[in-house]
Structure 1
Amino acid sequence: MKINGTTVISHLAEEYYQVWADYFVKYFDAYEHQEISFWGYSPQNEPVQGSDHGVKIISMGWTKENQTPWIADYLGPTMEKGGYGDLKMMILDDNRSRLPGWAET
């Protein structure tokens, strides 16, 4: 699903943007089936780490430039359609120093 075909240091290939958004709804549906509810979520844990070539862990990297259209055009509408549009979204849950730039995007 990633542009370099590996599980580390890469970004989601655009052809999988909708599939990845659909996984979020499936995730929340599965928990709802068990009567577990959520108030919020993060679209990606530590998104910057997935782009850091010094970090060799399984991760999904995002930049503010590629995560913004994914959220606006895929994740947001998919969550709304799936009945989860009221959940609070928390962005950039790592590297607080980068938060102003991400929030502006």
Structure 2
Amino acid sequence: MYYGIPYSYKGSVAIWNFDKRRYEGVCDYLWSKNDGDVVCKSLGYSYASSTYRAQYYGNVAGYSYYTGGLGCVGTEKSILDCPVTPYTCTSYYAESGVYCV
């Protein structure tokens, strides 16, 4: 997770792309509580108390997105293990966010 603010438990969600050497945001298309739970658990928190859309915590990567939509069940170890829904995320304001507890 990338933090645009100085708190480790909330922020915009992004993934480091090793090939492109940059962060890529996770598009908020189909962004759900299950997706947020996976992000929070992978960071050592219990669950996501809230998930956000529309760049709630700010933008991480501009127009560069890791995926158009995730379909996490909630039991995955990482969002990289979640099924991806084909969708082209084109909005600058479509970044997902999460608040972990």
With the length of structure 2 as denominator, give the TM-score of the two structures: 0.29
Higher strand share: 2
Q: Which of the two has higher C-alpha Rg?
A: 1
